[in-house]
Chain A
Amino acid sequence: MWATNLKIVGVVLGTLALYTLIANKIPQVQSEVPQALTLGANVTPEQLVAAGEKVFNGIGGCTTCHGLGTRAPNLLTDERGTGPIGVRCAKREPGKSCKQYLYESLADPTAYVVSGYQPIMPVMTRQLSPEQVWAAIAYLEAQGGTVDVTGDDIAKAKQAAGPATAAGGGATPAGGPGLAGGSTDPKQIIQAAGCLACHKLEGQGQVIAPDLTHVGSRRDADAIRRKILDPASSITQGYEKLAGIMPKTFGSMMSASQLEALVEYLAGHK
Chain B
Amino acid sequence: MSDVLLLVQAAADTTHAYRDFPLIGARAAVWIAAEVHLMFAAFVLGVPMFAVVTEAIGIFGGDERYDRLSKEFTRLLLVAYSATAIWGAILVFFLATLYPRFWAYLTAVFGTSMWVYASLFFVESFTLYLYYYGWDRWKKGRAKLWHWTLGILLNVWGTIVMFIANSWLTYMMTPPRDITPTTDPTTIKLWHAIANATWMPINVHRLIANVVFGGAIVGAYASYRFLASRTAEERAHYDWMGYVGNFIAISALIVLPFAGYWLGREIYQYDQSMGITMMGGFMSWLWVIQAFLIAVLFLTGNYYLWVGMERIPGAERFRPYTKWLLVVLVLGAIVWGTPHTMIADSKELAAMGGSHHPFLGALGVMSAKNTAVNLMILTTFLSFLMYRRANRRPVVPWADTGTRIQGAMFLVAAGIVLFYGIRGYFVEAIVRIGYSVYQVLAVLSCILFVTVIDILMARGAQSLGAIQWGKMPPRSQYALFILAVTFTWLMGLMGFARSGIRQYWHVWQVVEDTSKYAATPALGYAARMISLCVLIFLSLVAFVFWLGGLAEKSTFVSQGEARHVGH
Point out residues on A near B: beta carbons under 8 Å. Answer: 1, 4, 7-8, 11-13, 15-17, 19-20, 22-24, 26-34, 53, 57, 61, 63-64, 67-70, 74, 76-78, 84, 143, 207-208, 232, 241-245
Q: Please state if B531 and A77 are interface contacts (CB–CB under 8 Å).
A: no
The complex places the Cα of A28 from the Cα of B282 at a distance, in Å, of 9
New A-B contacts (12) at CB < 8 Å, excluding given A22-B527, A23-B523, A27-B285:
A8-B227, A12-B538, A15-B489, A20-B528, A24-B523, A31-B503, A31-B504, A33-B513, A69-B355, A70-B429, A77-B355, A244-B176
| Given A23-B289, A63-B281, A243-B177; A30-B519 close (CB under 8 Å) | yes
Contact with B353, one of A7, A34, A77, A245 (Cβ below 8 angstroms): A77
In the complex, chain A residues whose CB is within 8 Å of the CB of B251: none
Shortest distance from the beta carbon of A76 to any chain B beta carbon, whole Å: 5
In the complex, chain A residues whose CB is within 8 Å of the CB of B197: 241
| Given A31-B520, A77-B353; A20-B478 close (CB under 8 Å) | no
Point out residues on B near A: beta carbons under 8 Å. Answer: 176-178, 197, 224, 227-228, 266, 269-273, 276-277, 280-282, 285, 288-289, 292-293, 341-346, 348-350, 352-356, 429-430, 474, 478, 481-482, 485-486, 489, 500, 503-504, 513, 518-524, 526-528, 530-531, 534-535, 538
The complex places the Cα of A76 from the Cα of B349 at a distance, in Å, of 7
**Minimum CB distance partner of A23 in chain B:** B527
Q: Please state if A26 and B288 are interface contacts (CB–CB under 8 Å).
A: yes
In the complex, chain B residues whose CB is within 8 Å of the CB of A76: 345-346, 349-350, 355
Q: Please state if A77 and B520 are interface contacts (CB–CB under 8 Å).
A: no
Q: Please state if A57 and B343 are interface contacts (CB–CB under 8 Å).
A: yes
Q: List 22 A-B contacts (CB under 8 A).
A: A1-B228, A12-B535, A17-B531, A19-B486, A19-B489, A19-B530, A22-B527, A23-B289, A26-B285, A27-B343, A33-B504, A33-B513, A63-B343, A67-B355, A76-B355, A77-B346, A77-B349, A78-B354, A84-B350, A207-B430, A243-B178, A245-B271
Q: Please state if A241 and B485 are interface contacts (CB–CB under 8 Å).
A: no
Kindly list the 3 A-B residue pairs having the minimum CB-CB distance in the complex, ordered from nearest. A244-B177, A23-B527, A28-B522
The complex places the Cα of A254 from the Cα of B236 at a distance, in Å, of 77
Shortest distance from the beta carbon of A159 to any chain B beta carbon, whole Å: 26
The complex places the Cα of A236 from the Cα of B402 at a distance, in Å, of 51
Q: Please state if B285 and A68 are interface contacts (CB–CB under 8 Å).
A: no
In the complex, chain A residues whose CB is within 8 Å of the CB of B271: 245
Q: Please state if A11 and B519 are interface contacts (CB–CB under 8 Å).
A: no
Q: Please state if A8 and B520 are interface contacts (CB–CB under 8 Å).
A: no
Q: Please state if A74 and B354 are interface contacts (CB–CB under 8 Å).
A: yes
Q: Please state if B531 and A143 are interface contacts (CB–CB under 8 Å).
A: no
Q: Please state if B354 and A16 are interface contacts (CB–CB under 8 Å).
A: no
The complex places the Cα of A15 from the Cα of B342 at a distance, in Å, of 26
Q: Please state if B519 and A31 are interface contacts (CB–CB under 8 Å).
A: yes
In the complex, chain B residues whose CB is within 8 Å of the CB of A64: 273, 276, 280
Q: Please state if B282 and A29 are interface contacts (CB–CB under 8 Å).
A: yes
| Given A16-B489, A23-B527, A77-B354; A30-B276 close (CB under 8 Å) | no
Q: Please state if A4 and B228 are interface contacts (CB–CB under 8 Å).
A: yes
In the complex, chain B residues whose CB is within 8 Å of the CB of A77: 346, 349-350, 352-355
The complex places the Cα of A17 from the Cα of B534 at a distance, in Å, of 11
In the complex, chain A residues whose CB is within 8 Å of the CB of B224: 8
In the complex, chain B residues whose CB is within 8 Å of the CB of A26: 285, 288-289, 523-524
